[in-house]
Structure 1
Amino acid sequence: MRLSTKAQYAVRAMVSLNLYADGAPMSLKAIAAREDISLTYLEQLFVKLRRGKIVDSVRGPGGGYVLARPADRIRVDEIIDSVEETLVPVSCMDQDGRCSCVDQCVTHSVWQGLGGRIRQFLSSINLEDLTKEAKAKAGSGV
């Protein structure tokens, strides 16, 4: 299973927002430059993140985006879900783990179990965890 750049960029942008904004609004232009992500692509992602109640937008001079709630209450699976990335391991399953095949295949339970473990793992990591890891890497010169 491979997550798209949509999911990867959304998570990276959220870590950057939490790490460098220090609670103040941060412009997408600043995030785009810092993370080397296209500004237009980030704009599309942040519309979805705002709809998903992950970020809030602040208008006006000095505006930008802020976290909608504390970083330790934003899970990685929520970020990925907000940008409409699927966490199921095979294409024949929907987001709830139901099989779209007319007759359930004999390997369905394997894929369903794998999907559950992926979601469980990603829901166990919050934005604050990733931010602390990023700070540690920055401090060690990596």
Structure 2
Amino acid sequence: MKISTKGRYGLTIMIELARNYGEGPTPLKVIARDNNLSEHYLEQLASPLRNAGLIKSVRGAYGGYVLPREPKEIKAGDIIRVLEGPITPVEGIEDEEPAKQALWLRIRDAVKDVLDTTTLEDLIQHDQDDSNDAYMFYI
């Protein structure tokens, strides 16, 4: 499964809001600038996140976005599903032969498990951790 820029940048928005949790609204302009991303693209991602209740907009001169719940209550899987759709390694799993179908389902379940047990709090804690290299791998 490959996560697109929608999922990656959406996670960036959410991690930045989690870092600033309790400190007031964060403008997308600041998130875009600090992460060298397009503000316009982040605005497109904010809409489905807001509609799903994962972020809340605050209007006004000092407005921006905030998390409506604590970072420990928001899972990475919630964010990815809103922006990427269902988590599946391949399309048409039901049409595969049983051996391949079992493999695809195991992969799907493993990815879902990681996404559904990782919170925004975990991600910001990981950023502060010196052991980041332990989580870096390539297949």
Shorter-chain TM-score bucket reads 0.7 to 0.9
The Cα offsets for residues 17-76 of structure 1, whole Å up to 9 and x where unpaired, read as: 221465310000000011111111100111011111110000111000000111000000
1:127 corresponds in structure 2 to 120
Gaps of 5+ in 1: 94-98, 138-142
1:118 corresponds in structure 2 to 111
1:38 corresponds in structure 2 to 38
1:71 corresponds in structure 2 to 71
The Cα offsets for residues 59-111 of structure 1, whole Å up to 9 and x where unpaired, read as: 11100000011100000000111213442111224xxxxx3x3xx43311211
1:57 corresponds in structure 2 to 57
TM-score, normalised by the number of residues in structure 1: 0.83
2:135 corresponds in structure 1 to none
56-65 or 109-118, which deviates more: 109-118
1:88 corresponds in structure 2 to 88
Compared CA separation, residues 83 and 38, structure 1 to 2 (3 A): same
If each structure's helix is expressed as a fraction of its own residues, which one has the higher value?
Answer: 2
Q: Secondary structure at the match of 2:118?
A: coil
The CA distance in 2 between the partners of 1:111 and 1:28, in whole Å, is 37
TM-score, normalised by the number of residues in structure 2: 0.84
2:102 corresponds in structure 1 to 109
Gaps of 5+ in 2: 131-139
The CA distance in 2 between the partners of 1:116 and 1:21, in whole Å, is 30
Runs of 4+ in 1 over 6 A off after TM superposition: none
Q: Count matched residues.
A: 129
The structural deviation recorded for 1:135 is: 2.8
Q: Is the 8 A contact 1:56 1:66 kept in 2?
A: yes
Cα RMSD for the two superposed structures = 1.6
